[in-house]
Chain A
């Protein structure tokens, strides 16, 4: 092993680890020194650039039936080897194997802070589950070109191990991870926009530089009671917080939300509230918080009997430059709390 050579640990299933077929799929994680089975192709592809110091083998059923335990056990075996790089699979079209490869690579990256790569066929369910977190090299459906596939895995893995950025997905043969990376291109954006518009006008094909979003359409559920019997909650992403912002909700790119009691309040006293939101002119809301969170009017409706009850907790966050992941999580958490509290409907005010 040369001075710069990397310590590599491979992960293969029972079949590619030469333990046996389906009858051995229940076998738990074990580790063998050096390269075993499919890992030998990885060693061949590595040449002098690295050494497969050990091969972790785990049965597919074991990995699929208790995924968290299997990953934790494999991670412990991997960690003991102090590797620079982990190469899992390739899993081709094998679904249980592919999902386990993705899960192990994600865990290795998160826990050991070292690169981990795997390979599979486009239709392997592991691709959709893990492509965002893990570099997954695109392979065929079967192990007919094992050495070629291993070479591409190794090339990408070594690039990452050197701390370098891989090329574009198409060039380096991995599934786009859906992450963006600034590059310098041949013409400025104004020239590209003009060319793209001319293509669009002429009916010629053109490639948008931003993938069109594919957000699922969420139908508004029907209220199954009458308003007179319903409990209504107020939720906002417009950034209303009590003075002092006790939850430290970020002025943009928020990851937190607050739950604020309005129990016994006929309205909101402007002197007691603030607004850290940095995405709009908040002066009108600071002047009168009801412009954002209409406690006054809804309380009136409650007293008049037009609605059953105003929920006594207002949920608030800052909706500007918030990531989709955090938005979805906060929405889910707030919805769960509202449902547990017996809330029937929500007035969501956005800005």
Chain B
């Protein structure tokens, strides 16, 4: 499969009478965008804010961040429905269910869509923030992007899962709406992701170690709602490990569930592990493919899932080595380790990307497992470590919490959206001292 991400650079973001991309300036007709997003009976009021790097602004109540993308065409891989060629964005959630990962996709660099959650109980929920200035801006990718912040309020009677589904859908609509402005633009750069079917290794590269990636895309610590599409719109309730092409993940087939901890949809769309393996592909390794899996809720499910993962990695993809990442908290951590243990048992060397799980900052609490052979561990930092949020001039996206959030606040790394990404997108690491 061959995917082209056609990047257009955005260096300025302004409200205007028409939505269009002029050079590197993205102009948005906020009224038109608001009207587009308001066409959802689950939402009442929609507010849009534009915030910029360097502004003394804190975005509060952050729910998820989406990278602006829009399919231009599906390459040779087209799905025909009702006699029509279909090319769909975020298939199964926004667009109809069609295969992605092939063809050309428009992408905007330097701008992100930030969805806020106006329903969560501020006491019980862990409400994330983004700082646009100060020391924390450098810790998160979203402190360096121009952000379109969507605040949407639930219509009376809208339950929690329905509200979150509506908010995410609004953010996806906005992401596509903005990316389509680049339809006629000459891209600043074209990024090509091309990976042949796994067994077709040219003889000259047959000596390279075959490396697979196991991507845990959801944790069943919380059951998904019916509208909580994670894989091509499927809430993955009964999902067993399966193989998909890495391009499908980069092209909108996988979205984060609603209760993401230290993970954003943005990081999935720009998947750092898939990028790292692509970068080394054909040079120091052969990228053998991706297994997607979910963290199971019970032990029999975990055991079954673990050996199915290992079988796909070892026997189907024929990998010599595998990297695994997790999503969520403790159970996914152990689930990943059990899958890795099964891989090691089949002779596949493993590296695991873990979050520092210690809640008291002690090194002995970093891990929740202890399996032989699991000796290569990379960490994405501790989300529990205290972090000071310095005073800002303005709070966006959390009017009700503005009085508290505008001043200096004690928080944790986990509170800062984009500082800790479990798929390994950031340079934050917990060092043992």
Residues of A within 8 A of B (CB): 132, 166, 168-169, 176-194, 196-202, 206, 208-213, 215, 252-253, 279-281, 283, 320-325
Contact = CB atoms under 8 A, between A and B. Distances in A.
Contacts of B375: 200, 208, 212
Contact of B432 (A180, A190, A252, A281): A180
B432 A176 contact: yes
Given A182-B428, A321-B357, 9 more contacts: A178-B363, A180-B432, A190-B276, A190-B423, A193-B424, A197-B323, A210-B366, A215-B370, A325-B360
Given A182-B430, A194-B280, A198-B280, A280 B363 contact: no
B137 to A, nearest CB: 13
Interface string B399-433: 00000000000000100000000011111111111
The 4 tightest CB contacts between A and B, nearest first, are A189-B424, A190-B424, A190-B272, A197-B351
A194 B363 contact: no
Given A198-B209, A200-B321, A200-B349, A179 B362 contact: yes
B433 A168 contact: yes
B242 interface: no
A198 to B, nearest CB: 6
Given A188-B424, A193-B273, A197-B376, A280 B221 contact: yes
Contacts of B378: 189, 192-193, 196, 209
B353 A193 contact: yes
A166 B44 CA distance: 51
Interface of B: 139, 209, 211, 220-223, 272-273, 275-277, 279-280, 284-285, 297, 320-323, 329-331, 349-354, 356-367, 370, 374-382, 385, 413, 423-433
Nearest to B430: A180
Q: Give the residue among B365, B378, B380 with the most A Cβ atoms within 10 A.
A: B378
A189 B429 CA distance: 8
Contact of A188 (B209, B377, B425, B431): B425
Q: Give the residue among A187, A189, A199, A280 with the most B Cβ atoms within 10 A.
A: A189
A166 B330 CA distance: 30
Contact of B364 (A187, A200, A209, A324): A324
A324 B368 CA distance: 10
27 contacts: A168-B433, A179-B362, A180-B358, A180-B361, A181-B430, A182-B413, A182-B429, A183-B429, A184-B139, A188-B426, A188-B427, A190-B353, A190-B424, A193-B352, A197-B322, A197-B350, A201-B349, A202-B209, A208-B376, A210-B377, A210-B379, A212-B375, A212-B377, A213-B364, A213-B367, A320-B329, A322-B359
Contact of A253 (B211, B359, B424, B430): B359
B381 A193 contact: no
B277 A325 contact: no
Contact of B329 (A168, A190, A191, A279): A279
Contact of B220 (A180, A181, A212, A281): A281
A183 B431 contact: yes
Contacts of B425: 188-190
B382 A212 contact: no
B431 A181 contact: yes
A276 to B, nearest CB: 11
Contacts of A179: 361-363, 432-433
A177 B357 CA distance: 17
Contacts of A279: 221, 329-331
A168 B365 CA distance: 19
Contacts of B285: 194, 198
Nearest to B383: A182
Contact of A190 (B273, B297, B430): B273
A185 B429 contact: yes
Contact of A197 (B349, B354, B358, B426): B349
Given A132-B362, A182-B382, A183-B428, A177 B351 contact: no
Q: Give the residue among A169, A181, A190, A208 with the most B Cβ atoms within 10 A.
A: A190
Contacts of B275: 190
Nearest to A193: B378
A128 to B, nearest CB: 13
A188 B272 contact: yes
Contacts of B366: 180, 210-211
A123 B363 CA distance: 21
Contacts of B380: 189
A131 B424 CA distance: 31
A325 B349 CA distance: 32
A74 B323 CA distance: 53
B237 to A, nearest CB: 11
